[in-house]
Amino acid sequence: MDTFDLFVIGGGPGGYVAALRAAQLGARVALAEEKYLGGVCLNVGCIPTKALLRSAEVYETIQNAKDFGVKISGDVLPDWSAMQKRKEQIAGRLTKGVGSLLKRADVILFDGRGRLLDAHTVEVTGSDGRVQQVQANKVILATGSRPVQLPLPGFDLPGVLDSTGALELDVLPARMLIVGGGVIGAEFATLFATLGVQVTVIEMLDRMLPMMDAEIGQEIERSLKRRKVKMYFNSKATNIMQQDDVLRVTVETPEGNQEFAVDKVLVSVGRRANTENLGLEALGVRLKRNGIEVNEHMETNVPGLYAVGDVTGAWWLAHVSMKEGVVAAENACGRPTRIDYKTVPACVFTHPEVASVGLTEAQAAERGYQVQVGRFPMMANGKALTYGERDGWVKVVAEARYGEILGLHIVGAHASDLILEGALALGMEATLDEIEATIHAHPTLGEAIAEAALAARGAALHLTRP
């Protein structure tokens, strides 16, 4: 029976990064993946979605080419099949890249599903049905998550999709109803509406992106309205019926029940940790409501057994999974370390993009801080105007006494890239003074961050004072 220093179950962002880091540290590492390397993110999540969103963005830009002094002769039409082909090529290239990295790091790959027989024995059932047992000094669980399925009438009909199904559509539907106005719902609403689909969003809470700063939700609602998306808040879908080729969806709204006739329904109401059939119960692994319980070192209550990523039921973000994978691998290899979640950025790839790190204005006030807030609109930023990206703003949330940065929230072009300054500021406990003292290159979108920091003290240079 083979013996390894570390065995990783799951080859998604958390799992493969954990394997690579442990191999760097000199461990003999094996990894089992039952479906595809890169997990949901690379294959049916982050990367494919962003590839399609970029295609939609290019299509929208070409439609507005006259605004940039460019004449287009003939019709500009979206080619969904070509977009899908491009998406598959990008995802395939990245997945192959992960395989190459693991091979060069001498990580032994098992093609199959892994489960624990005890704290140091892993059973792998291969795709060919062959069963193997291996020994490992330490084990990392990185089995990811899956979309939540609503236990409501009609939600198992063929035309009702999860995010994976939406990415695999052969043709664009004429009408789509999206259940859920969170990150996945907002991104798919942007994608399909930009490509001409009539989109309706149903959200149980009172705004889009309800987990983020309230002003962000309002900004994205305006963006979606420009794309003719209809949104219903404080509402919930209760029933779906098939009538010929049409799905009829009953929705409870504050104004009473309404019925929508659509071609497809996308359910995007969250994800559930993959904790089943891993042998956790026999080992007494402690679970919480939505995943495996771990400490700050990513270790479970069973010594030598770690868990990272979505299976812990905390953040559901690929970049958090990767960092947790590094932390778990280092601890498993005898290098004590921990993760600091204060600096985790959240990004939404709508148009305009959204990014956030740290506390919202409301959260800071709830925690007892005396808050000062600075805002700067992208329409006052030179680079944004040259790019034709006037929508959005930067919002800095700071503590009033010392000016410590508590949060940064951005709506606008490349928000997902700009947010890194905020994450670094939070990690270093930087203040408004330090943001102001940093010279930001001109003309760049990043200048808006410096101006927002100045605005927190009423000193923005490129805004007219009220």
Fold of 3-147+272-341: FAD/NAD(P)-binding domain (3.50.50)
Report pLDDT for 149: 87
- Comparing C-alpha atoms, which of 136, 213, 154, 214 is closest to residue 419? 213
Report pLDDT for 466: 61
User: Over the chain, what is the mean pLDDT?
Assistant: 96
Question: Which residues, other chains included, contact 266 with Cβ-Cβ below 8 Å and sequence gap of 6+?
Answer: 161, 162, 163, 165, 166, 176, 177, 178, 179, 185, 188
Q: What is the pLDDT of residues 372-429, one digit of tens each?
A: 999 999 999 999 999 999 999 999 999 999 999 999 999 999 999 999 999 999 999 9
Handedness of CA 406, 411, 412, 414 (dihedral sign): positive
Q: Domain 160-269: give its CATH code.
A: 3.50.50.60
3-state helix, strand, coil in the chain (%, to 5): 35, 25, 40
The residue behind tokens 């999860």 is: 162
Q: What is the pLDDT of residues 109-131, one digit of tens each?
A: 999 999 999 999 999 999 889 99
The two most distant CA atoms of the chain are separated, in Å, by 74
Q: Which residues are designated catalytic?
A: 442
Helix (H, G, I), strand (E, B) or coil at 10: coil
Residue type, 207: R
CA distances from residue 429 to 356, 360, 406, 449 in whole angstroms, order as listed: 16, 16, 8, 16
pLDDT higher than threshold 90 for residue 213 = yes
- Same topology, domains 3-147+272-341 and 160-269? Answer is yes
CA distances from residue 285 to 163, 227, 246, 302, 312 in whole angstroms, order as listed: 30, 48, 46, 6, 12
pLDDT higher than threshold 90 for residue 2 = no
The domain segmentation of the chain, as residue ranges, is: 3-147+272-341, 160-269, 352-455
Quick one: which H or E segment has residue 363? helix 361-366
- Give the number of other Cβ atoms within 10 Å of residue 281's Cβ: 10
Q: Is 12 left (phi over 0), alpha (psi -120 to 50) or beta?
A: beta
State the virtual CA torsion across 172, 173, 174, 179 in degrees, nearest 10.
-120
pLDDT higher than threshold 90 for residue 292 = yes
pLDDT higher than threshold 80 for residue 312 = yes
352-455: CATH class: alpha beta
Residue 72, class by beta-carbon neighbours within 10 Å (0-12 exposed, 13-18 middle, 19+ buried)? exposed
pLDDT above 70 coverage of the chain, percent: 100
Peptide bond before 151: cis, by omega within 30 degrees of 0? no
